[in-house]
Copies of this chain bind each other. A is one copy, B any other.
Amino acid sequence: MDGSYSSDEIIPEQALAEAYGVSRTPIREALKQLENEGLVEIRARVGTFVRYPTRREVIELFQVKESLEGLAANLLAQRAPTEEIEKLQKNVQESFKVVDEDDGAAYARLVHEFHWTLVLGSKNQKLIENYDRLMNQLTYHRLVLETVSVPGRIKQSIHEHQAVVEAIIAQDPMGAELAMRNHVHASSRFVLYQPHTQTVGE
């Protein structure tokens, strides 16, 4: 995930085993798990490779993301008022501030916090697990950093966040869900509009 390996070079079990001071067995178990999550591809008797999602997969993942985050917003609105919601409010205020200061890194961090606060606030562990796996597959942090550069998108994005928070505070589950889905959908359009090097087309 930190980019140590590119998709055309193999990840040798032996090297990882030596690096972590263990044998190949636990390394193999870990890689098998990563394969199961779709992050690496193990080709039998050839090697293990980093696997980047295709453009098609990114589209699919965003569709599922939209659905899951919509559910999370819905559930959180049902639980209103809670402390997570206060955190979201502060997050939106802070976001407006750092954008005025043109602090891209701080904004990326706040976006990350917003989405995770919302999902964790759903208090649905199964939803959280599914979301976590999904985000790992999206290698999301990379995409976010690419998107923040689109002019005008950031301010719009924060307003969308704000709309979500307002619906949650109003204890309007369906409104919150639709606002969140609208937001994810909009952000996915910007991510997919950008041509990037990592997510190669099918």
Contacts and interface: CB of A to CB of B under 8 A. Distances in A.
Interface of A: 25, 28-29, 32-33, 36, 57, 60-61, 63-64, 66-68, 70-71, 75, 124-127, 130, 134, 137
Most chain B CB atoms below 10 A, which of A36, A70, A126: A126
Given A29-B32, A32-B33, A126 B61 contact: yes
Number of copies: 2
Main DSSP-derived SS at the A contact region = helix
Contact of A126 (B32, B33, B57, B126): B57
Contacts of A126: 57, 60-61, 63-64, 134, 137
Nearest to A133: B130
A105 to B, nearest CB: 29
B32 A63 contact: no
A124 B64 CA distance: 9
A71 B75 contact: no
Given A32-B33, A67-B68, 14 more contacts: A29-B29, A32-B32, A33-B33, A60-B124, A60-B126, A61-B126, A63-B75, A63-B127, A64-B71, A64-B126, A67-B70, A67-B71, A126-B134, A130-B134
Contacts of A61: 126
A33 B28 CA distance: 12
